[in-house]
Structures are given as structure tokens and as C-alpha cells.
Amino acid sequence: MMSNRKYEKSEGWCSKSLLRNYLYIFNFFFLCGAITVLLIAVWSVLAEHGFISLLSDVSYPWTSYLLLAAGALGLIAAVFGCCGIAKSDRCYLFVYILLLLLIFLLEVMAGSLAYIYREQAYQELQTRLNVTFIENYGKEPVDDAPKTRAIDEMQREFQCCGANSFEDWTHSRWLLDGLAKENKVPDSCCKTEGPGCGVRDHPSNIYYTGCIHKLSDTVRNHLGYLTISGLGLCILQIIGVIFSTCLYIKLKEVDITDL
């Protein structure tokens, strides 16, 4: 017993007690980081849920879902970490290390996808959004029209009309196929919306600016937050893996000396 105390005391900053203290401090910040990532991911999913159907690239929703998984796993990992530190249990610590590595991979994947898609968001929207407006609006079944609803919601929220401008609607299947009735633009383009208000396309009645600019800015801002959350906070996991691995090895050494 005396030899164990001398052994631990001679190790200085790398002693078992100090490593446990380091891990307690780390685990607190890690828990805060996991909650932050989880909240950012939930906010991103809820804030842009209505517009996801207009984005043809799957990278955007996947970044949020990957961070959502990373945040949820972070909460579980924090519990395993506390148990492993408090009980000095190598099994808990081993699971903790594996979870930290998995969370690290998820955050790197999410941050990388968000960064890549952020760089090409405007070009992708410019290529696809106008086609979505022209081909899909009003052509879906009435009881299941996610793209039609998303376009109307976006035009109201961003105070815009059409993808690039209100003139996009003159080429739409919705207008050419007679679904517009007397309207020249959807009612959601109107500054003061009401049934049939889209019959007049005068600037005093409708918005002339296209939706692509505000949607692109919104998507890029959200992806910027996701990039920071993923690539920024994954550094925490590296620190945690180092400390927890050191403690795992230290506990193994103490068990051997006890023998």
C-alpha cells in the first residue's frame, strides 16, 4: 500500500488523481459543447425544415442530422465519462474513449460537408431553384404539395417573387397549363396577400426581387454555423481522448502494481 502511494506521488502532473481532475474539468466543457451542438442542430433543422424540399443537394440536411447525432451521443458519453472517472473503472473509460472518437468522426464529417456545400450553395441554387419554381409549383397533388407550400412560405417570409425575379412565373407550367386562372403570379408574391391578389404584377402590388439571393444568404449563414460547430468543437474530443487514454493506462498500471 505504501509503495503505491509513493508510486503515485512521484508521477507529478501525470498522477491518477490529477488525470481524474483534468477529466472532470474536460467532461464539464464537453457536456456544454454537446448541448451547444445539439441545440444548433435542432435550430437548423427546425429553421429550414420548410425549404429542404427545394434543395436538391442532400448535404445540407445531412449536416444537421450528423450534428444532431453527435450532440445526442455527447450527452451519453458524458455520463459514461463521469462514471468512469468517479469509479476509476476502465470499462467505462474504454466506452467513453470509443464514443469520443465516434463523435469526433461525426463532427468532422458534418463540418466538412457544411463547408463544402457552403462554397457551392449559390451556384447550386442558381442552377436548380428556377427549375423547381417553373416545373413543380402547383403541379403536385393538393393533399401532398411540399414544394408548392415551401415556395409560398419562402416568398412570404423573404418578401420575394420567383427564383431570380417575378418574371420567372411567365415561363412556369403553373401559368402555361392554366392552373393560375387569372393570376400572373402566386398570391404569396403580393405585398398584401389575399385571394386573387396575384392578378396584378405591378410593383405596387407584388415583390419584384427573386428569392435566390435571400435563400442563398440564409443557407450560407446556417452552414457557416454548422461548419464552426462541427470542425471547431471536434478539437475538444481530441483533448478528451488524450486525457482519458492516459487515465485508462494509468489505472492499468496501478492494477498491475497491486498484484
- For the stretch 21-65, pLDDT in tens is 888 888 899 899 889 889 988 888 777 666 766 765 556 678 888
User: Residue 161: what pLDDT?
Assistant: 94
- Residues 144-158 have a mean pLDDT of 87
Q: Is the pLDDT confidence value at 97 over 70?
A: yes
**Alpha helix locations (H) across the chain?**
2-9, 16-47, 59-87, 90-136, 146-158, 173-176, 212-227, 233-258
User: What pLDDT, on the 0 to 100 scale, is given for residue 56?
Assistant: 57
Which amino acid would we find at residue 121? A
- Give the C-alpha separation, 50 to 209, whole Å: 20
pLDDT tier for residue 13 given thresholds of 50, 70 and 90: low
**Is there a contact between 220 and 204 (Cβ–Cβ < 8 Å)?**
no
Provide the pLDDT for residue 155. Answer: 92
pLDDT classification of 6: cutoffs 50, 70, 90: very low
- How is the chain split into domains, by residue range? 14-142+216-258
pLDDT of 188: 93
The string of DSSP letters for 152-182 reads HHHHHHHT--SSSBGGGGGG-HHHHTTTTTT
Q: Residue 243: which residues within 8 A CB-CB, separation 6 or more? A: 19, 22, 23, 26
Across the strands, what pairs with 165? 209
List the one residue out of 159, 144, 139, 26 whose CA is nearest residue 81: 26
Q: Which of 28-42, 73-87, 215-229 has the lowest mean pLDDT?
A: 215-229
Mean pLDDT of 123-139: 83
Q: What is the pLDDT, as a whole number, of residue 192?
A: 92
Q: In this structure, are residues 166 and 201 in contact, taking their beta carbons and an 8 Å threshold?
A: yes
For residue 183, the surrounding DSSP H or E stretch is: none
- The pLDDT of residue 57 is 56
- CA dist 111 and 224 (Å) reads 9
* CB atoms inside a 10 Å sphere around CB 167: 13
Average pLDDT value over all residues in the chain: 82
What would you report as the CA-atom Rg of the chain, rounded to the nearest whole angstrom?
27
Over range 135-140, report the average pLDDT.
Answer: 84
* 93 closest CA partner among 28, 161, 176, 20: 20
The percent of residues in the chain predicted with pLDDT above 70, rounded, is: 86
pLDDT surpassing 50 at residue 79:
yes
Span 117-131, mean pLDDT? 78
The residue ranking higher by pLDDT, 6 or 44, is: 44
**Does residue 190 sit in helix, strand or coil?**
strand
* pTM of the entire predicted model: 0.75
Query: Residue 1: pLDDT band by 50, 70, 90 thresholds?
Result: very low
What average pLDDT does the segment 243-254 reach?
79
* φ, ψ of residue 137 in degrees (nearest 5): -65, 125
Residues 6+ apart with CB under 8 A from 108: 230, 231, 234
Report the candidate in 171, 173, 166, 209 with the shortest Cα–Cα distance to residue 187: 166
